[in-house]
Structure formats: structure tokens, C-alpha cells
Amino acid sequence: MCESISPFNLKEENRVVSVAIFRAIKEGLFDFVSKVLEADPYLIWARDENRGTLFHQAVLYREDKIFGHLHERVMKDSVMNLKDNSSNNVLHMAGIFSPSIQLKRIPDAVLQMQMELQWFEELVQIVHPKMREETNDKGMTPQELFMEEHKDMKKVGEEWMKNTATSCTVLGALIVTIMFAAAFTVPGGNDQTGIPIFLNDKIFILFIVSDALSLFSSSTSVLMFMGILTSRYAEEDFLESLPRKMIIGLFTLFFSIATMMIAFSAGLLLMLQGHSWIFLPVICLASVPVTLFVLMQFRLLLNMSISTYGPSSSIFDRKMKRWLL
């Protein structure tokens, strides 16, 4: 195909390639797009049936690698200013919800909403400032179009966040209650002066420290989840505010569970000294439900951390030149 086309060639071959390159962008075929544009750089001016450009297509289907490649072309500035038949500019396309391949790879609605916001916010920094206020045939700016197109996704994400935060709040509050009570009902009890009998035992110190850490971390997790429940749930909150609270809440909840198990093990060891045949099986059995909970929720914590603070949180290459005012 590349051998059949050449710059300034307006034959049928080039028109067929023009249709194929739009399909390739939709399917995320980066190699095809890059090789064809090398063979004929003027194909960057290609338009589809709706008069949309390659930039429109790359943004619509959230193909960041292809968009970055197009952005490196010499004539990118002129092409990015073009509009389609509905007067949508490139930033409008970021506001349109499209079930792209990239979006389908993300299982959670909150992370999907976050990715959509990352696309929109970073594209705002790349396009010409005037595009932010341009309206399409429906009289909608890119921001208004984004809010309209993503209101259902936002609603699903809000319900998911509230349900998750509610469940974790109950668990965190339960740990707070248990750890608070355990701090004043120490293993072995107290002497007549109220001083713990095992005060000078190293295992008792481990019990007290782990109990305090579990209490403080579970209290922090409850506060974070309460912050999620009382959030206003605006679109921009899904970009960093809500994910950050969820990350801190889940991490501190995991930490409180781990330190709770350490406190339980230390307390059990103090009471069953010399009876290791009872101590070891009980500790192993008690760790099973805690381990299962961590395994079920750890994927969520990992995915949200990578999406918010990892390399993928930056959609576009930072080397892209921004418009100068």
C-alpha cells in the first residue's frame, strides 16, 4: 500500500488509503498509521465522511500513541484547528463519550471517568486557548459537552464510590472499636496499682505498639471514607480528589488490619507461653480471612494508585509543545 501512494497523488489509491487510515486509528493500529504517513505526509489532511480529521479520530477513540505521532507532524497546527460538519473541534471530541478499546480495558467506572478527565484536561493544555470557548452546532462548549456526555458514567462512578466507602467505613469503625477496647483490657491484666503485669515484656510492648498503630490507621481510614461519602462529586473530583482519598483510605485500612493481626498474635503469645502447638495453628487460621480481604481489594488499590500517580496518569508526552499565548 505504501508503494502505491506518494505525495501529491490524488488517484483512487490515495482515497482508499484515506479511508483505511481512519479505520486503523479506530482499531489502534499505530504501525499502519505511522508507515502510511511516512509514505505520504499529506494524508494528515485527510477528512472522513463527517469532515473530521485524523486528530479528531485519534482523540475520539483515545489513542494517545497515535495522537502523539500526529502531533509531531510539521503541519499539525493547521490541521488541529479544523472542525467537522457539526463544528466540533479537537477538544469537543475529548468531551464525546466513545466506547473505545482503551476504555474497555479499564474495569471500574471511577477509573474510566478518571481516564476521560485526564484526556480532556491534558488536551486543554495542548490545543489553542480559543478552542476552549468555541461552540458546536448545538451551542455547547467542550466542557459543556463533556459534562453532558459523561453524566451517566459519573452517576455510576458516584454510586460505586459510595458503596465501597460505606462498606470500608463499617469495617474501619469495627477495627477502631476493637483496638480501643483491647488497649485497656491488656493480656494478663493489671496489678493492684493498675500497671499491666507484662509491662516489661518485649512481646507486650509489641502488642501495645501494634494496637496503637491499628487504632490510629483505622481512624484515618474512616475519616477518608467519610470524606468520600460527603464529597460533592463534581466532575473534577474524579480526577484526583476522590481517587486520592480512596487510595489513602484503603492503604490505612490494610495497614490497620495487618497491625491488628500483629497485636492479636502478640496477645495470644503472651497468654499461651509454652503452648506453641496451640498458638501457631490459631494464628494461621486467623490470618486466612484477613488475607482474603487484602487479596480482593489490593487490585483496586494498585490500579487506582497507578492511574493517579503512575506513568499512565500522564496521557501525552510531556515533550509536546504547547501553544504560546
Which residues of the chain fall short of a pLDDT of 50? 318-319, 321-325
Reading the block at residue 252, the C-alpha cell is 490505612
What is the rounded CA–CA span in Å between residue 58 and residue 280? 58
The pLDDT assigned to 148 comes to: 93
Torsion angles phi and psi, residue 30, rounded to 5: -65, -45
pLDDT score at 1: 72
Residue with cell string 503469645: 269
pLDDT of residue 323: 38
Write down the domain spans for the chain: 2-149, 153-312
pLDDT in tens, 142-153: 999 999 999 999
Q: Which of these, 72, 81, 122, 86, lies nearest to 239 by C-alpha position?
A: 122
Cβ 96 vs Cβ 61: under 8 Å: no
Question: What pLDDT, on a 0 to 100 scale, did the predictor assign at position 75?
Answer: 73
Longest dimension (CA), the chain: 101
The closest alpha carbon to 249, from 214, 174, 301, belongs to 301
What is the CATH architecture assignment of 2-149? Answer: Alpha Horseshoe (1.25)
- pLDDT, one tens digit per residue, over 290-299 is 778 778 888 8
Eight-class DSSP state of 311: G
- DSSP structural state of residue 230: T
Residue 318: per-residue pLDDT: 46
Query: What pLDDT score was predicted for residue 261?
Result: 87
Given this model, what pLDDT does residue 324 score?
35
What is residue 192's predicted lDDT score, i.e. its pLDDT? Answer: 65
pLDDT of residue 196: 72
DSSP characters over 58-90? HHHTT-HHHHHHHHTSTTHHHHHT---TT---H
- Name the grid cell of 249: 483510605
